[in-house]
Amino acid sequence: MNTLTLSRFKPVTLSQTHKWMLLASVCIFALALLSIGYGPAGWDWRLAIAWLAPERFNQFDALQINVVMQIRLPRFVLAVLVGLVLAQTGASTQALCRNPLADPSIIGISAGAAMVAVAFIALSAQFNFNAQLYLPYASFLGALGVTSLVYFIAKQQGQINITTLILVGVAINALAFAVIGLLSFFADDSALRLINYWTMGSLGGASWSTIIQAAPLLLISLIGLWRLKNPMNLLLIGESQAQYLGVDTNKLKLYVIILVALGVGAVVALTGLIGFVGLVVPHIARLMVGPHLRNMLPLCMLIGVVVLLLSDWLARIVIMPAELPIGIITALLGAPLFIYLIVKNKRGWS
């Protein structure tokens, strides 16, 4: 199976990258007005900025401002953080494996994090402790364990075998969902509702307290992977070439694995399973500006925010006043593109 290399793409100028980033930023601004200013009573763009200076917007009462401050704004901030992390961890996983079909959800990382999170929810009902306090860290441990397992099984003679990687990921996904189903079978009603929330994904539980609790893990993942973009970029040209250029590839792989697990674990703890973002978004960015991480990674992260905000908005309006799980929306958008990637790969594309 062909791998992803820098030489297979035409070079893209920095100005072209800036144009795409500007367009993505404009989309984020428009979606911010829509996300914060939209509610069951309709849409008012002024409400999206009224929280900045409530005294200047006398047409909105305190209840409306409070709804924006305590419900819509935390949800928007969470969507931004999740979009950044999922897009960045997806791009980093693909750089680590040197293949555009690698993704934290495809290779079982997200399912492993969800499995441990669901286990903590089930245990909390049995032993009467607050699972919410430990979910980000439990999910991180689950994601780290699965990432390490998949990586070491797929490693052959110092190289990642992508076929083995995906096959092991499929097996781990099946095992994780079987365990989640088993725990659901024995769970009580309150735990069962939480388990359903984790398996389908939603931003509905956003609050300032949960965001503040998970923010350190998310920021460590974001900053750490951003600082590693240059050595990861060298890894794209080949592991031996990267070593020749002074990159300690063993340490780099270890750091990337830990940081990806940290980010994915924290996201799963906050929102449940949101699939295909880590696959679809890096691919879109790569088509626009090529695989060079100096250009691709920042654009990828911006597109990730756009995709999460758009998906969340669709989840809120499709069956209003009820709400669809955002994981359903991202799967409906991402699964057809994943099939397209597989078909193209069979024809010798990379």
Q: What's the chain's average pLDDT?
A: 82
Does 25 score more than 90 pLDDT?
yes
Residue 346 pLDDT grade (very low, low, confident, very high; cuts 50, 70, 90): low
124-139: average pLDDT: 74
Percentage of the chain lying above the pLDDT 90 cut: 22
Distance CA 162, CA 2 (A): 9
72-83: average pLDDT: 93
Distance CA 171, CA 309 (A): 31
For residues 121 and 131, the answer to whether their CB atoms sit within 8 Å is yes
pLDDT for position 28: 95
Residue 350 pLDDT grade (very low, low, confident, very high; cuts 50, 70, 90): very low
242-250: average pLDDT: 85
Residue 157 φ/ψ region, left for φ over 0, alpha for ψ in the -120 to 50 degree band, beta for the rest: left
160-179: average pLDDT: 83
Residue of 97, 102, 109, 98 lying closest to 221 (CA atoms)? 109
Q: Which two tokens stand for residue 135?
A: 């979910």
pLDDT for position 97: 81
Distance CA 111, CA 119 (A): 12
Of 121-130, 135-144, 314-323, 332-341, which gets the smallest average pLDDT?
121-130
Q: Over the stretch 41-59, which tens digit does the pLDDT of each residue have?
A: 556 667 777 767 666 666 6
Distance CA 84, CA 76 (A): 12
Of 34-43, 276-285, 312-321, which gets the smallest average pLDDT?
34-43
Q: Which of helix, strand or coil describes residue 237?
A: coil
Q: Which two tokens stand for residue 275?
A: 């699939």
Does 218 score more than 90 pLDDT?
yes
For the four alpha carbons of 86, 144, 117 and 103, in that order, the dihedral sign comes to: positive
Task: Say which residue, 11 or 159, is predicted with more confidence.
Answer: 159
N- to C-terminal Cα distance for the chain?
8
Residue 282 pLDDT grade (very low, low, confident, very high; cuts 50, 70, 90): very high
Residue 74 pLDDT grade (very low, low, confident, very high; cuts 50, 70, 90): very high
What letter would DSSP give residue 228?
T
What per-residue string of b and e applies to 120-141 under the rule 16 or more CB within 10 Å gives b?
bbbbbbeeeeebbebbbbbbbb
Distance CA 244, CA 232 (A): 14
Angle of helix 326-346 relative to helix 293-317, nearest 10 degrees? 130
- Strand-pair partners of 39: 42
For residues 188 and 128, the answer to whether their CB atoms sit within 8 Å is no
Residue 77 pLDDT grade (very low, low, confident, very high; cuts 50, 70, 90): very high
Q: What are phi and psi of 106, to 5 degrees?
A: -65, -40
Residue 349 pLDDT grade (very low, low, confident, very high; cuts 50, 70, 90): very low
7-36: average pLDDT: 81
Rounded CA Rg of the chain: 20
Distance CA 177, CA 105 (A): 12
